Amino acid sequence: MKTDEFLCCADELIEGQFSERRFQSEGEIRYLVVTRHRGVAKAWLNVCPHQGRPLNWAPDRFLSDDQGNLVCAAHGAVFECDQGRCISGPCKNANLRAVAIEESDGQVRILPDRTLSA
Ligand code: FES
């Protein structure tokens, strides 16, 4: 039976800032993009639904627009941070793949029913 797994300390997720986390799932390394949005911790696979590329332009470096949306560095798809839905760009209305997390006791943990298959 799988258990939840530590992702990061809660205070590492800063409102409006995006960062990358490496996570091992069933022997495979996965990369996540994490943030805090309206006080809520968010995590998605760091895979753009347009062409499957990482969203960042350098390790742990992400673009955002003036409204705080996440912008893919490859072709400029813009993702809102409530649901991870693309609101502009070549994959409009596609969604980032959310990873189920829970924040408690100063920790952010990935829940056992996480979706990490890319
Ligand atoms: S790979 Fe992200 S917009 Fe093309």
pTM: 0.92
Task: Report d(CA 78, CA 29) in Å as an integer.
Answer: 25
Number of C-beta neighbours around residue 39 at 10 A: 8
Tell me the pLDDT tens digit for each residue of 11-21. Answer: 999 999 999 99
User: What string of DSSP letters covers the chain?
Assistant: ----EEEEEGGG--BT--EEEEEEETTEEEEEEEEEETTEEEEEES--TTTS--S-SBTTB-EE-TTS-EE-TTT--EE-TTT-BEEESTTTT-B--B--EEEETTEEEE-TT-----
The confidence score (pLDDT) of residue 24 equals 82
Tell me the pLDDT tens digit for each residue of 81-107. Answer: 999 999 999 999 999 999 999 999 999
**Residue ranges lining ligand 1, Cβ < 6 Å:** 48, 50-51, 53, 72, 74-75, 77, 89-90
- Cα(58) to ligand 1 centroid in Å equals 15
Mutate which of 33, 62, 78, 91 for ligand 1? The one with the most ligand atoms within 8 Å of its CB, which is 91
The confidence score (pLDDT) of residue 1 equals 44
- Cα(105) to ligand 1 centroid in Å equals 36
Minimal-distance CA residue to ligand 1 atom 1? 51
Domains of the chain, first to last:
5-110 (2.102.10.10)
Task: Tell me how far apart the terminal alpha carbons of the chain are, to the nearest angstrom.
Answer: 22
Give the phi and the psi of residue 93 in degrees, each rounded to 5: 80, -5
The confidence score (pLDDT) of residue 114 equals 54
Q: Is the pLDDT of residue 26 over 90?
A: no
Tell me the pLDDT tens digit for each residue of 34-65. Answer: 999 999 999 999 999 999 999 999 999 999 99
